[in-house]
Amino acid sequence: MKIAIVSDDGTTIHRHFGRARQYVVVTIEEGRETAREIRDKSACHGHNPDGSPQDHHDTLLTMIADCQMVIAGGMGAGMDERLRGGGITPIRTRIPAVDTAIERYLSGRLTDTIELVH
């Protein structure tokens, strides 16, 4: 399983899915983290003035098409819907640290804070 976590610095979880500059992609196998990579998404930061929000969402989702879950500090309702429609489970959290969120996921204690959808 792969989990994409939105971040600006690789260690903290960004508060908005679309504004984060990178994904920290963590691979989980047999109940433990086996790999971690950074996927830079700064080239698609913000909305493309020549494209639609739909195009922007497509670009963001293409980068994590191999992931089954996304962890973010918050996201818009449109992105929430697009993730779910693409088979990716969104988890919104107030946890600030990437490592803490992964630890809580592995121990079954990471919950979705739905009120962080705006």
Find all residues with CB under 8 Å of 18, minimum gap 6, and list them. Answer: 46, 47, 56, 60, 75, 76, 79
pLDDT score, position 47? 47
Question: pLDDT (tens digit, 0 to 9) for every residue of the chain, 118 residues total?
Answer: 999 999 999 999 999 898 899 999 999 999 999 999 999 987 665 544 555 555 566 788 899 999 999 999 999 999 999 999 999 999 999 999 999 999 999 999 999 999 999 8
CATH match for 2-116 among 2.40.128.260, 3.30.420.130, 3.40.140.10, 3.40.50.1220: 3.30.420.130
Q: How far apart are CA 110 and CA 40, in angstroms?
A: 25
What pTM was computed for the model? 0.89
pLDDT score, position 95? 98
What would the two tokens of residue 50 be? Answer: 């020549």
Q: Residue ranges per domain, the chain?
A: 2-116
pLDDT score, position 102? 98
